[in-house]
């Protein structure tokens, strides 16, 4: 058994590479991952779907190359930090007396990328030989939508030739003892609504001003938001099962050297909303709500989507991964986690977005999972940290998952028919 401090120190090295958007040090991260891969004798490939944004693809070849392969995905970029609000340097990877490792990316999701590699290190040391090929992808730009990373990768011929059967990607930390798993995610609809109206003197009361028109919409949005939030508060729905709406910006007024002109009612006003739609929701009814209540032309309003991810995949099905017996990978993962001593909660819909959607869009099953139990959810927050014991435990969880996945042989049904994966 290797000294755990060397395992933790490799995690710290990865965390110390500043890959924060909007100018991630991708080359440094790529060099680090490639050096890890070399020490593990994995096959390596560097793909560049966009200049300066390397995607590192590693392969542990299986003994039966005809079987669908396993893809373990992680993103190399992290979100920016407000450095002065951190108690430790966000790229210092400081290990405190409690064993907590502080760094941006410690939860989201450099932990997972390194845990995959460490799990393979352990499996190799134990003499394990995979039947199916195991691929690891380290992708850029997830935090800004993945368009130059996972999206192009999932669309590529390189990807098709990998013959992937199952994708594992990120999940969320769990404040209790149960790990969380995700079978789907909400679709981002980034909505901008714009009102126009009569300009005029700030002292006059009259109808159809841009501000009034916009405020009526905002009131309607807020009522809807409250109705959805109430379902969560009452325990009737999980966070990922309702539509969330949050205002991202408000833009109106006539600028002046000292701020805004105060006695002029502007002729235009705009608001932006981050809307998240569960794949199980009815998109038409939400679209109707937008055209009839949030941005009705009758109130001089228009709207535009800055981003609108479809709730359907390339085959017209809701973008979600089956958690029943039709998907053997799900039960395999659950069993593997339990065998390694982990407990699992009920599968959930991821409230935000991950790269997993690009793989699900191709019709592939993808499971979101980041093995962090008893851990506060600190992704995108100040003082993001992960405890070293939790990190080390997670490696053993992946040892168990990779072993189960890489040796999985589809069982022959009693009728004698073979299930297509």
**Sites of contact with Zn ion (CB under 5 A):** 108-109, 170
Burial class (CB in 10 A: 0-12, 13-18, 19+), 40: middle
- Is residue 107 involved in binding ligand FME (CB under 6 A)? no
143 is in an annotated binding site: yes
Q: How far is the CB of 361 from ligand FME (least distance, A)?
A: 13
Q: Verify whether residue 151 is a known catalytic residue.
A: no
Q: Please, which residue, 171 or 342, has the CB nearer to Zn ion?
A: 171
CA dihedral in degrees (392, 112, 138, 241; nearest 10)?
A: 170
CA dihedral in degrees (253, 259, 262, 268; nearest 10)?
A: -10
Residues 6+ apart with CB under 8 A from 212: 197
How far apart are the C-alpha atoms of 282 and 140, rounded to whole Å? 32
Q: How far is the CB of 379 from ligand FME (least distance, A)?
A: 7
Q: How far is the CB of 117 from Zn ion (least distance, A)?
A: 17
Tokens of 48: 């560049």
239 is in an annotated binding site: no
Scanning 86-193, the segments in alpha helix (DSSP H) are 110-125, 150-155, 157-162
Q: Please, which residue, 78 or 269, has the CB nearer to ligand FME?
A: 78
Dihedral sign (CA 27, 80, 370, 177): positive
Q: Please, which residue, 89 or 308, has the CB nearer to ligand FME?
A: 308
Which H helix or E strand runs over 193? Answer: strand 187-196
Please tell me which residue in 2, 84, 96, 142 is annotated as part of the active site: 142
Q: How many CB atoms lie within 10 A of CB 359?
A: 27
Largest CA distance in the chain: 82
Q: Which one of residues 196, 209, 213, 353 is an interface residue with ligand FME (CB under 6 A)?
A: 353
| Residues in region 227-266 near ligand FME by CB under 6 A | none
CA dihedral in degrees (107, 141, 320, 156; nearest 10)?
A: -140
Q: Which one of residues 188, 240, 266, 296 is an interface residue with ligand FME (CB under 6 A)?
A: 188
Residue 38 binding: pick among Zn ion, ligand FME, none (C-beta 5-8 Å cut-off by kind) = none
170 is in an annotated binding site: yes
Which H helix or E strand runs over 275? Answer: strand 268-277
Q: How far is the CB of 242 from Zn ion (least distance, A)?
A: 21
Q: Which one of residues 61, 145, 253, 318 is an interface residue with ligand FME (CB under 6 A)?
A: 145
Q: Please, which residue, 137 or 353, has the CB nearer to ligand FME?
A: 353
312 is in an annotated binding site: no
Q: How far is the CB of 203 from ligand FME (least distance, A)?
A: 43
Q: Please, which residue, 83 or 307, has the CB nearer to ligand FME?
A: 307
Residue 109 binding: pick among Zn ion, ligand FME, none (C-beta 5-8 Å cut-off by kind) = Zn ion
Scanning 16-101, the segments in alpha helix (DSSP H) are 26-39
Q: Verify whether residue 142 is a known catalytic residue.
A: yes
- Is residue 47 involved in binding ligand FME (CB under 6 A)? no
147 is in an annotated binding site: no
- DSSP labels, 245-269: EEEEEEEES-EETTEE-SSEE-SEE
Instruction: Give residue for tokens 């992290």.
Output: 78
| Residues in region 301-340 near ligand FME by CB under 6 A | 307
- The residues assigned a catalytic role are 77, 142
Site residues (vs ligand FME, CB under 6 A): 143, 145, 188, 307, 352-353
Binding residues for Zn(2+), as ranges, are 75, 108, 143, 170, 380
């Amino acid at each position: 058994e290797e000294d755990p401090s060397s395992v933790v120190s490799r995690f710290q090295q990865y965390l110390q590479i500043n890959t924060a958007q909007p100018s991630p040090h991708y080359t440094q991260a790529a060099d680090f991952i490639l050096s890890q891969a070399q020490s593990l004798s994995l096959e390596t490939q560097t793909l560049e779907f966009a200049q300066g944004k390397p995607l590192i693809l590693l392969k542990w070849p299986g003994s039966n190359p005809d079987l669908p392969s396993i893809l373990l995905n992680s993103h190399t970029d992290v979100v920016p930090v407000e450095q002065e609000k951190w108690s430790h340097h966000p790229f210092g990877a400081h290990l405190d007396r409690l064993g907590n490792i502080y760094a941006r990316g410690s939860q989201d999701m450099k932990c997972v990328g390194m845990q995959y590699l460490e799990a393979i290190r352990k499996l190799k040391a134990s003499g394990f030989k995979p039947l199916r090929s195991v691929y690891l992808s380290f992708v850029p730009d997830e935090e800004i939508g993945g368009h130059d990373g996972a999206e192009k990768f999932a669309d590529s011929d390189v990807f098709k030739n990998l013959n992937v059967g199952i994708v594992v990607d990120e999940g969320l930390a769990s404040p209790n003892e149960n790990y969380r798993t995700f079978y789907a995610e909400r679709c981002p609809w980034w909505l901008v609504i714009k009102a126009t109206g009569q300009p005029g003197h700030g002292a006059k009361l009259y109808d159809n001003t841009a501000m009034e028109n916009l405020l009526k919409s905002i009131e309607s949005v807020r009522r809807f938001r409250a109705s959805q939030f109430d379902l969560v508060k009452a325990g009737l729905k999980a966070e990922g099962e309702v539509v969330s709406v949050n205002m991202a910006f408000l833009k109106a007024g006539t600028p002046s050297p000292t701020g805004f002109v105060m006695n002029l009612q502007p002729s235009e006003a705009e608001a932006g909303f981050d809307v998240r739609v569960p794949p199980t929701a009815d998109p038409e009814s939400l679209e109707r709500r937008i055209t009839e209540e949030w941005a009705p032309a009758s109130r001089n309003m228009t709207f535009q989507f800055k981003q609108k991810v479809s709730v359907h995949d390339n085959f017209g099905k809701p973008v979600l991964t089956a958690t029943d017996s039709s998907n053997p990978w799900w039960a395999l993962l659950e069993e593997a986690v339990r065998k390694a001593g982990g407990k699992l909660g009920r599968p959930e819909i991821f409230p935000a977005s991950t790269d997993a959607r690009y793989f699900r869009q191709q019709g592939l099953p993808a499971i979101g999972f980041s093995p962090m139990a008893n851990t506060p959810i600190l992704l995108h927050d100040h003082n993001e940290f992960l405890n070293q014991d939790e990190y080390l435990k997670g490696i053993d969880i992946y040892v168990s998952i990779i072993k189960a996945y890489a040796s999985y042989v589809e069982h022959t049904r009693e009728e004698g028919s073979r299930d297509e994966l």
